[in-house]
């Protein structure tokens, strides 16, 4: 293996009396493609700052090969010291670097170079920072959440650009597909220590789960050994006290081992408060149009959203996704056409803006709306500390101001607030921002189990594939098209990548000028919901078989009709319903199995 350009060894760093990083290493060789993964708060961004030289560890070694150039993309770039975006990007160029590359990157990312920092949106700031990091084509690129605030065309452009660069990469991202396409090795930062897998992110989760399973087996072994030693202490120590003090010391050692054994951070426990059932038709849009000045956002669009649908809105930044979402939910009136909302709608909205709460408000007050220490979830009162724990907040954070929370913690807080409210229509605008991969998994499971209707906006392609049952796509010039299935299903039907608008001076500068060159159509695959149904339907069919047999035996009891007419009628009604459910389940399984075979065949 080639000697590393950048090397971290035995890194240790403590924040606030608690070790954040205890035994971490990172080796980056020329041309490597590494992804750095771990839970929110595990220290990934801090380790990247140590690699860049911005943070000094308590102990350990950082080595950089002489002459190696490194560029770092922070999560929150600061452009305040520069007059324009061009000045900011050119500040990152070395003596031999081509200044024309800076101009080319700015234009490719939808910027002119003349923007002033105080007028930039979050997406524009991120694009300027990307241009600065990419312009010199450094030996090592350290990228912390590079897809944050980027739309789908920009993400696809960035993927293609990074794929063709000679630079070694270290990536932190919550975008699964981005990591799968770019990474060739994975470093897992977990409980202060790093483990390395010499395979890309696509293989990571299977490897991680195997490690955690072995750890759980080891904990069970330790628990059994402690239990055996406690039995000996209770019943055998009195008569042999002097002779067996060594065994007591061994027991204390086992207890210490268990006490010091750092378990993986707990899982978020999501559960949405479900309101009353809505009408079958939730939203019906008939020929709606909306324009702002001369710019047409929505033109003659019609759709019908039924109870239980999961509808995703997809398009470039500035295409009008949030506007269309506001039209469909009745927040905004169309210029023409008609929006008809269904009956008994209980809507809860998760806004993409994390600044909608007073930064000086405490976490506890944000969850209780300042009314005591109780949160009402599904009609039941819960103490705020217990509800906080479900979302991985510690009791001592209850009185901490929101301004002290990380981006991921603010994301979990907004989810906790939204999910506590009863609803049958969830409106989610960029719900995946700043969430780690494990929390995303749990959010996907919650949405899959949610019995109501979901409208969502997201740039996370994997999340869209797992959650959405249909996708409404911006085709440009105010035209929107409805496609069945998730994001990959939409690409297969269109035969191209998601469209990007050409940026004009009249448009928002918050998007790229053009999409990457069209790729081959994505291979069709089962959605997350279809996979889940295919896996769980056989068990449901078997359960219904057993119930039908039991009901048939009940109805076969002699004289049941004359002896207990009420029981007979109930069993007859349930038998008919169970047989209907059985038939529907078998039919659904057969359709999914045929679909799976056609995809794999």
> Which helix H or strand E contains 470, and what residues bound it?
strand 470-476
Beta-carbon count within 10 A of 134 CB: 27
By the 10 Å C-beta count (0-12 exposed, 13-18 middle, 19+ buried), 520 is classed as exposed
- Cα–Cα distance for residue pair 579/453, rounded to 1 Å: 27
CA dihedral for 50, 54, 59, 61, sign (positive or negative)? positive
549 is in an annotated binding site: no
Query: Is 476 within any annotated ligand binding site?
Result: no
Q: State yes or no: 577 annotated in a binding site.
A: no
Rounded to the nearest 10 degrees, the angle between the axes of helix 437-449 and helix 528-555 is: 40
Q: Considering only CA atoms, which of 76, 102, 106 is closest in space to residue 91? A: 102
Residue 110 labelled as part of a binding site: no
Query: How far is 71 from 74, CA to CA, in rounded Å?
Result: 10
38 is in an annotated binding site: yes
1: burial class by Cβ within 10 Å (0-12, 13-18, 19+)? exposed
318 annotated to bind ligand: yes
DSSP bridge partners of 296: 291
126 is annotated as contributing to ligand binding: no
Residue 42 assigned as binding residue: yes
Q: Please name the residue that has the structure tokens 């019908």.
A: 304
Establish whether 192 is an annotated binding residue: no
State how far the Cα of 520 lies from the Cα of 540, in Å rounded to an integer: 38
As a three-state string, the secondary structure of 8-56 is: EEEEEEEECCEEEEEEEEEEECCCCEEEEECCCCCCHHHHHHHHHCCCC
Is 40 marked within a binding site? yes
Q: What is the C-alpha separation between 138 and 135, in angstroms, rounded?
A: 8
In whole angstroms, give the CA distance from residue 286 to residue 458: 24
Q: Residue 363 is encoded by which pair of tokens?
A: 């976490």
Output b/e per residue, 215-245; b: 16+ Cβ within 10 A. eeeeeeeeeeeeeebeeeeeeeeeeeeeeee
Which among 389, 395, 405, 440 has a CA at the least distance from the CA of 269?
Answer: 389
Six token digits for residue 108? 């490719």
- 154 annotated as belonging to a binding site for a ligand: no
- Does residue 317 have a known ligand-binding role? yes
User: Which residue ranges are tagged as binding site for ATP?
Assistant: 38-45, 315-322
User: Which residue ranges are tagged as binding site?
Assistant: 38-45, 315-322
């Amino acid at each position: 293996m080639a000697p590393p350009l950048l090397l971290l060894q035995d890194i240790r760093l403590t924040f606030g009396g608690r070790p954040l990083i205890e035994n971490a290493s990172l080796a980056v060789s020329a041309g490597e493609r590494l992804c750095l993964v771990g839970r929110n708060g595990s220290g990934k961004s801090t380790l990247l700052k140590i690699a860049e030289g911005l943070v000094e560890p308590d102990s350990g070694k950082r080595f950089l090969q002489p002459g190696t150039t490194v560029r770092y993309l922070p999560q929150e770039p600061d452009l305040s010291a520069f007059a324009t975006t061009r000045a900011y990007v050119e500040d990152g160029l070395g003596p031999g670097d081509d200044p024309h590359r800076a101009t080319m990157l700015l234009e490719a990312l939808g910027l002119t170079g003349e923007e002033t920092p105080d007028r930039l949106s979050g997406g524009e700031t991120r694009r300027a920072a990307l241009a600065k990091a990419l312009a010199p084509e450094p030996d090592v690129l350290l990228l912390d959440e590079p897809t944050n605030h980027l739309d789908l065309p920009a993400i696809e452009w960035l993927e293609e650009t990074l794929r063709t660069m000679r630079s070694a990469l270290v990536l932190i991202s919550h975008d699964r597909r981005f990591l799968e396409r770019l990474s060739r090795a994975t470093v897992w930062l977990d409980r202060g220590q790093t483990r390395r897998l010499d395979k890309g992110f696509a293989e990571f989760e299977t490897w991680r789960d195997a490690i955690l399973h072995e750890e759980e087996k080891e904990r069970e072994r330790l628990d059994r050994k402690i239990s055996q030693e406690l039995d000996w202490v209770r019943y055998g120590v009195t008569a042999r006290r002097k002779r067996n003090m060594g065994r007591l010391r061994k027991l204390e050692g086992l207890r210490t081992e268990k006490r010091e054994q750092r378990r993986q951070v707990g899982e978020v426990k999501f559960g949405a408060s479900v309101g009353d059932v809505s009408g079958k038709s939730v939203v019906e849009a008939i020929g709606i149009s909306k324009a702002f000045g001369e710019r047409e956002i929505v033109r003659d669009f019609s759709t019908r959203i039924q109870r239980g649908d999961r509808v995703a809105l997809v398009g470039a930044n500035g295409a009008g996704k949030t506007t269309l979402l506001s039209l469909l939910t009745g927040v905004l009136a169309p210029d023409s056409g008609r929006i008809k909302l269904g009956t008994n709608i209980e809507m809860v909205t998760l806004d993409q803006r994390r600044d909608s709460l007073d930064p000086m408000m405490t976490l506890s007050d944000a969850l209780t709306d300042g009314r005591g220490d109780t949160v009402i979830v599904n009609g039941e009162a819960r103490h705020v500390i217990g509800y906080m724990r479900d979302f991985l907040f510690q009791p001592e954070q209850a009185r901490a101001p929101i301004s002290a929370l990380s981006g991921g913690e603010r994301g979990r807080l907004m989810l906790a607030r939204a999910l506590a409210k009863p609803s049958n229509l969830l409106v989610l605008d960029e719900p995946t921002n700043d969430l780690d991969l494990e929390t995303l998994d749990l959010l996907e499971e919650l949405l899959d189990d949610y019995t109501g209707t979901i409208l969502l906006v997201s740039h996370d392609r994997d999340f869209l594939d797992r959650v959405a049952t249909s996708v409404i796509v911006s085709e440009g010039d105010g035209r929107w098209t409805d496609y069945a299935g998730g994001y990959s299903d939409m690409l297969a039907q269109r035969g191209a990548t998601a469209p990007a608008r050409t940026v004009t001076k009249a448009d928002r500068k918050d998007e790229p000028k053009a999409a990457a060159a069209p790729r081959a159509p994505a291979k069709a695959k089962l959605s997350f919901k279809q996979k889940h149904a295919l896996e769980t339907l056989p068990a449901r069919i078997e359960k219904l078989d057993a119930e039908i047999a039991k009901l048939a035996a009940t109805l076969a009891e002699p004289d049941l009709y004359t002896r207990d007419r009420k029981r007979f009628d109930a069993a007859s009604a349930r038998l008919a319903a169970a047989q209907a459910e059985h038939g529907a389940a078998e039919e659904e399984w057969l359709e999914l199995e045929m679909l799976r075979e056609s995809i794999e065949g």
